[in-house]
Amino acid sequence: MLITVRKIACALILTIAVSLGSCRNPDLPLSGETKGNINLLMGNPSQATSSPGNSENYLIARPQYALSYSKNKGIPNWVSWELNSSWLGDAHRVGKFAPDQELPAGWEHIKSADYTGSGFDRGHMTNSEDRSRSPEDNIQTFLMTNILPQSPDNNQGPWVQLENYSRQLVRSGKELFIISGGYGQGGIGKNGLKATVGQGKVLVPAVTWKVILVLDTPNSGVAGVTKNTRTIAVIMPNKQGIKSDPWQQYQTSVQEVEKLTGYKFFTSVPAEIRSIIEAKIDSVEPREKPKLRQRN
């Protein structure tokens, strides 16, 4: 009965304030920690919180992105960010990799040096170029809580291709809500298979994944999501030998990424719409030779 009443109330609010796109799916709790952060407008995939006791699902919500961090793994579980034309500018890669001082007292601070000589790139989740509006925004993407070990061929090949394609969509007038992370343990870098780097402090994921919600009308919020809204999802092996692979080769559905990770994406979207858009497998054919990234 309570859920029914809440659903009715939410529907009424959405009717009144449709332009705000602020009505959240009533089947999941609303967290005061995530309310108002644009990067979590479409939901908090693991219901992360900023309680230090929640060390394996610790929420850091910045203006530039939001993430769930794992103290034991030394990497983010997921990172979520909005991307539209307002975030793009000329401040490309002005930051330097640095420990994140916002972690609770007593926690290990992963350093750039923990990756040195590992055979793995310091792989951005929120990409540096996605936060090129100002030096301040760009610097935030180099904090080590936004980084995980990516094989050079993953990071510099299909992963960067999808990042470039995402910005192409934005420049064509779209707005994206993106979530990415890694899963499993054990990746193959330049020095072969490794389960961890940094003397065991940093877990190496077996795959990297990303899900993207594509809005045709920027700033339309949740109200702009319909049954025809496009979603893009990929699961890529974290290994060498894939640098020339087109990113489209690794396309899947958002539902498959949910099955893999156990997360629930885009939970602010009404369930009847979410179930349709998350079941789709987007189809994009490669149109040009991939642009490859140099090792960071």
In the predicted structure, residue 203 carries a pLDDT above the cut 90: yes
- Tell me: the pLDDT tens digits for 238-271? 999 999 999 999 999 999 999 999 999 999 999 9
Which band of pLDDT confidence, cut at 50, 70 and 90, is reported for residue 286?
low
With a pLDDT cut of 70, the percent of the chain lying above it is 84
Residue 246: strand, helix, or coil: coil
pLDDT of residue 34: 57
Average pLDDT over residues 213-232: 97
- Whether the CB-CB separation of 231 and 254 falls below 8 Å is answered with yes
The pLDDT confidence band at residue 17, using thresholds 50, 70 and 90, is very low
CA angle 9, 40, 151 (to 5 degrees): 150
What pLDDT score does 295 carry?
42
pLDDT at position 29 is: 33
Q: Mean pLDDT across the stretch 158-168?
A: 98
User: Is residue 291 over pLDDT 90?
Assistant: no
pLDDT for 191 beyond 60: yes
pLDDT band for 92, please (50, 70, 90 cuts): confident
Q: Quote the tokens at residue 40.
A: 């979590």
Per-residue confidence (pLDDT) for residue 35, from 0 to 100: 64
Closest Cα partner for 30 from 9, 1, 52, 53? 9
Catalytic residue among 24, 124, 210, 243: 124
Rounded to whole angstroms, the Cα distance separating 94 from 233 reads 29
Q: Is the pLDDT of residue 7 over 50?
A: no
CB 136 within 8 A of CB 94: no
Q: What is the 3-state secondary structure (H, E, C) of 148-200?
A: EEECHHHHCCHHHHHHHHHHHHHHCCCEEEEEEEEECCCEEECCEEECEECCC
Are the C-beta atoms of 22 and 36 separated by less than 8 Å? no
Residue 143 amino acid letter: L
92 is catalytic: no
Q: Considering the chain, what percentage of its residues have pLDDT values greater than 90?
A: 82
Name all domains of the chain by residue range, CATH numbers in brackets: 32-277 (3.40.570.10)
Q: What is the pLDDT of residue 36?
A: 81
Name the residue with higher pLDDT: 285 or 123: 123
Q: What is the mean pLDDT of residues 221-234?
A: 98
Return the structure tokens found at 260.
Answer: 């893999």
Average pLDDT of the segment spanning 72-81: 98
